[in-house]
């Protein structure tokens, strides 16, 4: 019987996940299809019960349900629980199990392009929202403990450091403090929504005083080059946009569902073709 997968969110119709997963299912001769599931906040519990009742094999979870879905699932993977957000659910013999592939997806995209070992590097994470939590926990869990966090609301950065269950060497900073110390960082990662289409003229930080040879990553992929990335490039940085993270978080979800790690480069190309 054809297996059913999908992405649950609101809004969700713009998501490119169906294109990349359906292509991967075809590519691997898996008899499955992946849909958009528009689910309002108030309908989440019913939708999760419905997924179980009709035997959906797995689904992604996006805004605004990533946190709210946790108590509705049967089991939560350790890092997803620590992060407090789920972006991937698998149905294993009627049990819905939640995972978070955002942080490790980011890490795989980063190490694809940034070849130097991360362990001793000084890293600045800008933002302290859901995406930042996943990235921060994955970085420190994988042995890159020197991560400072700068956020508009500094208390949220402080909370993130406290919440992180893995050994780390982190400071919580204001944006101004981060700007003043920018030259210290080998890797700078931007995770807020500042600069995302249609607000493409905004940048979260003055990036002009970066270290020579710094690597600067933005998890935004629309536009492909944010104002922040363009300024980082002008200041001599190597840059990376969010397409790689998007492709790898999807590839890791596909692996959880099927046991097969798909061609993430092909996934990236589908996204680039659609955006370009």
Binding mask 122-141 for ligand ATR (x = CB under 6 A): -----xxxxxx---------
Check the annotation: does 122 bind a ligand: no
132 is in an annotated binding site: no
Residue nearest to ligand ATR (CB): 129
Question: Of the candidates 192, 222, 226, 241, which one interacts with ligand ATR according to CB under 6 A?
Answer: 192
Q: Which is nearer to ligand ATR, 156 or 211 (CB)?
A: 156
> Is 191 annotated as a binding-site member?
no
Closer residue to ligand ATR, CB minimum distance, 108 or 151:
151
Residue 250 has, within 13 A of its CA and on its CB side, a CA count of 30
66 is catalytic: yes
CB of 61 to ligand ATR, least distance (A): 12
Q: Which of 66, 141, 227, 268 is catalytic?
A: 66
Q: What count of other Cβ atoms lies within 10 Å of the Cβ of residue 274?
A: 11
Is 62 near ligand ATR (CB under 6 A)?
no
Count of residues for the chain?
276
**Cβ neighbours, 10 Å, residue 139:** 27
Q: Is 204 in the site for ligand ATR (CB under 6 A)?
A: yes
- Taking the complex as a whole, the smallest distance from the CB of residue 134 to ligand ATR amounts, in Å, to 9
Instruction: Pick the closer one to ligand ATR by CB: 131 or 245.
Output: 131
User: Which span (14-22, 38-46, 150-158, 265-273) binds ligand ATR, by CB under 6 A?
Assistant: 150-158
Is position 98 an interface residue for ligand ATR (rule: CB under 6 A)?
no
Q: Which residues bind ligand ATR (CB under 6 A)?
A: 127-132, 151-153, 156, 191-194, 204
Task: Give the residue numbers annotated as catalytic, written as ranges.
Answer: 66
């Amino acid at each position: 019987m054809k297996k059913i997968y999908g992405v649950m969110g609101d809004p969700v119709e713009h998501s490119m996940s169906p294109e990349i997963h359906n292509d991967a299912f075809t590519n691997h001769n898996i008899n499955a299809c992946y849909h958009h599931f528009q689910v309002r906040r108030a309908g989440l519990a019913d939708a999760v019960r419905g997924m179980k009742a009709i035997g959906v094999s797995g689904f992604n979870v996006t805004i605004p349900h990533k946190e709210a879905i946790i108590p509705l699932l049967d089991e939560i993977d350790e890092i997803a629980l620590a992060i407090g957000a789920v972006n991937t659910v698998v149905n294993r013999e009627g049990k819905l199990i939640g995972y978070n592939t955002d942080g490790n997806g980011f890490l795989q995209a980063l190490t694809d392009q940034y070849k130097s070992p991360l362990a001793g590097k000084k890293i600045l994470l800008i933002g302290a929202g859901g995406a930042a939590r996943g990235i921060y926990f994955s970085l420190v869990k994988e042995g890159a403990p020197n991560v400072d966090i700068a956020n508009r609301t500094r208390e949220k950065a402080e909370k993130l450091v406290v919440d992180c269950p893995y050994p780390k060497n982190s400071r919580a900073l204001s944006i101004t403090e981060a700007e003043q110390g920018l030259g210290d960082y080998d890797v700078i990662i931007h995770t807020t929504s500042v600069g995302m289409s249609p607000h493409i003229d905004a940048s979260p930080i003055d990036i002009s005083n970066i270290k020579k040879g710094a690597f600067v990553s933005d998890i935004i992929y629309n536009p492909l080059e944010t104002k922040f990335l363009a300024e980082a490039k002008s200041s001599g940085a190597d840059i990376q946009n969010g397409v790689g993270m998007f492709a790898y978080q999807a590839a890791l979800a596909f692996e959880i569902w099927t046991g097969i790690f798909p061609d993430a480069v092909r996934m990236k190309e589908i996204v680039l073709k659609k955006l370009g």
